[in-house]
């Protein structure tokens, strides 16, 4: 939620900057001065912002994917451990139930006179 608010603030500030600087022109020199172009100042700044987002997205994508894979692997291991735990509890209840029936059955018997 905080990220969404921060992104919204950043976008609003960027929009205000672009709207305030629509009239100002900048001259761009491409290919070591062979080609020149005049454009509003917000276009190269917007292009730089977009390239920065693209580069950061490319750099952050592999660790994010790795984290998701690791999370999925650990979630599966946890589910398997839960299944094993339930199976062991069930088998322990069976064994405990047999032992308690055997112990209670012996204690309820009448001693035989020999």
Burial 53-72 (b: 16+ CB within 10 A, else e): eeeeeeeeeeeeeeeeeeee
Which of 19-23, 49-53, 77-81 holds the top average pLDDT? 77-81
- pTM (global) more than 0.85: no
Residue 38: partners with Cβ closer than 8 Å, 6 or more residues away: 25, 26, 27, 28
What is the pLDDT, as a whole number, of residue 14? 79
Nearest CA among 40, 38, 21, 42 for reference residue 30 = 38
């Amino acid at each position: 939620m905080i990220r969404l608010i921060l992104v919204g603030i950043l976008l609003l500030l960027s929009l205000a900057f672009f709207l305030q600087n629509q009239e100002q022109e900048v001259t761009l020199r491409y290919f070591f001065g062979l080609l020149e172009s005049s454009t509003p100042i917000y276009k190269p700044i917007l292009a730089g912002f977009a390239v920065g987002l693209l580069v950061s997205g490319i750099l952050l994508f592999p660790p994010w994917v790795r984290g998701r894979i690791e999370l999925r692997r650990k979630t599966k291991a946890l589910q398997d451990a839960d299944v094993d735990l339930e199976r062991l509890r069930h088998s322990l209840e069976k064994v405990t139930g047999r032992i308690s029936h055997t112990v209670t059955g012996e204690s309820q018997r009448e001693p035989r006179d020999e």
